[in-house]
Amino acid sequence: MPENRFSLRAVLAGLLVAGPGLVGAVPNGRLHELARAAGKLYFGTAVDNPEINNSGYRPILGNKADFGFITAGNTQKWQFTEPQQGRFDYGQGDAIASFAKSNGQMLRCHTLVWHNQLPGWVSSGNWNRDSLTRVINTHISNVAGHYAGQCYAWDVVNEALEDNGSFRNSVFYRVLGTDFLPIAFKAAAAADPKAKLYYNDYNIEQAGNKQRQALAIVDIIKRGGARIDGVGLQGHFIVGQTGSRDQLASVLNQFVAKDVDVAYTEVDVRHSSLPTNSQALQRQADDYGSIVSACLAVQRCVGITIWGASDAYSWVPSTFPGQGDATLLDRNLNPKPAYNRVRDVLAAAGRGRKRSARVEA
């Protein structure tokens, strides 16, 4: 599904559609502040390098009150950071890290081991167990070591599972079996010991074979003697197919029962047909409300990240032709009903938390 969910091609296409000087009406939004008041650690968005150089979009992405948490959408992946064996390039990833730091935003680093966006020397290499283990360890030691102390969390392994719950036939799995999971997590812990270490995947937000296998991955990593701090549930939903707050919270709690944190890491809710209408936008708002409410209902759900703030820069249309308008801001960077619903749900939770604190006092 999200093979190229944050491709530079999609981002650049959005920039051409939106234009460089477009300015929306949300610079004073405060979703992150409301999430903090509601007891969560953050509310954030993914960004990519062309976006932070766009004069209209940059102030929105850099507004800490709205998005206090930034995920590097693309340029910390293997094809960018080690395009040739032993030759590391951090320029584009550093630009994202510097953007977050300059705005006082937390940074999620993404991702160390993924079957996609691998340079050919990795995916086509003639590896055995020892040589591929050295490649993984060297890559993670260098990349996570370079960003050590800058990342709240690392998505250490990304999307190791097929949609049916079987392990993906990646170079890592073919050579190492499931051992590549604890190998990667051990290397990440050594390179960036203060960062939270996550397994991240899509279609694990609702009960099913893939979700159950993701639960098993937590056990595999721990049995391998490695530390895992959290599971990222990406949250790429379709309008009307999201599930209720209670259904979503039940799945979150199944992961929490494994003694890990959880987070929604890549949320968007796409319309299956376009153009939208007021009724469809309201259904989308309801779905966003359910997602946020589910996280609020689970103490160890630490936060929510949306996979791009505006429809103008979304990965969805290039991957699912005829679908889209999946984010909180429209193509003119103005808030949609979904944005307002997220704001209202977070604000209500914050007010309830204050009332409870006064009663306890």
CA 228, 107, 196: angle at the middle one, nearest 5?
A: 15
Share of the chain above pLDDT 70, in %: 91
- Residues linked to residue 69 through DSSP beta bridges, in sequence order: 44, 106
**Does residue 309 form part of some domain?**
yes
**Does residue 3 form part of some domain?**
no
Compute the average pLDDT of residues 68-73.
Answer: 97
Handedness of CA 90, 91, 95, 98 (dihedral sign): positive
Compute the average pLDDT of residues 65-81.
Answer: 97
pLDDT digits (tens, 9 = 90+) for 323-360: 999 999 999 999 999 999 999 999 999 998 877 776 66
CA 85 to the chain's CA centroid: 27
How far is residue 66's CA from residue 45's CA, in Å, rounded to a whole number? Answer: 9
Whether residue 18 is predicted with pLDDT greater than 80 in this model: the reply is no
Give the model's pLDDT for residue 203. 98
Whether residue 146 is predicted with pLDDT greater than 60 in this model: the reply is yes
Compute the average pLDDT of residues 137-144.
Answer: 99
Whether residue 240 is predicted with pLDDT greater than 90 in this model: the reply is yes
Whether residue 22 is predicted with pLDDT greater than 90 in this model: the reply is no
**Does residue 2 form part of some domain?**
no
Whether residue 262 is predicted with pLDDT greater than 80 in this model: the reply is yes
| Residue 321 burial class via C-beta count within 10 angstroms: exposed 0-12, middle 13-18, buried 19 and up | exposed
pLDDT digits (tens, 9 = 90+) for 91-122: 999 999 999 999 999 999 999 999 999 999 99
Whether residue 210 is predicted with pLDDT greater than 50 in this model: the reply is yes
Catalytic residue among 51, 82, 205, 266: 266
Provide the residue range defining the domain that includes 205.
8-360
The answer to whether residues 77 and 112 touch, using CB atoms and an 8 Å cutoff, is no
**Does residue 332 form part of some domain?**
yes
Whether residue 23 is predicted with pLDDT greater than 50 in this model: the reply is no
Look at the chain and count its residues. 361
**Does residue 1 form part of some domain?**
no
Going by the DSSP 8-state scheme, the letter that residue 162 receives in this structure is -
Four-CA torsion 36, 41, 47, 53, nearest 10 degrees? 50
Whether residue 16 is predicted with pLDDT greater than 50 in this model: the reply is no
159 is catalytic: yes
* Number of other residues whose CB lies within 10 A of the CB of residue 78: 19
Whether residue 56 is predicted with pLDDT greater than 60 in this model: the reply is yes
Compute the average pLDDT of residues 252-260.
Answer: 99
Of the candidate ranges 27-31, 262-266, 301-305, 336-340, the one whose mean pLDDT is the lowest: 27-31
Rounded alpha-carbon distances, angstroms, from residue 32 to 45, 230, 245, 256, 305: 10, 20, 20, 23, 10
Give the model's pLDDT for residue 352. 87
SS3 content of the chain, % helix, strand, coil (to 5): 45, 15, 35
Whether residue 82 is predicted with pLDDT greater than 80 in this model: the reply is yes
What total of structural domains would you count in the chain? 1
Whether residue 269 is predicted with pLDDT greater than 80 in this model: the reply is yes
**Does residue 274 form part of some domain?**
yes
Compute the average pLDDT of residues 161-169.
Answer: 98
Compute the average pLDDT of residues 26-37.
Answer: 83
CATH number, residue 245 = 3.20.20.80
The residue ranking higher by pLDDT, 55 or 82, is 82
How far is residue 323's CA from residue 205's CA, in Å, rounded to a whole number? Answer: 21
The residue ranking higher by pLDDT, 88 or 355, is 88
202: alpha, beta or left, given left = phi > 0 and alpha = psi -120 to 50? beta
Give the model's pLDDT for residue 70. 98
The answer to whether residues 24 and 56 touch, using CB atoms and an 8 Å cutoff, is yes
162 is catalytic: no
Whether residue 28 is predicted with pLDDT greater than 60 in this model: the reply is no
Catalytic residue among 51, 82, 159, 205: 159
Handedness of CA 189, 190, 191, 193 (dihedral sign): positive
The residue ranking higher by pLDDT, 250 or 3, is 250
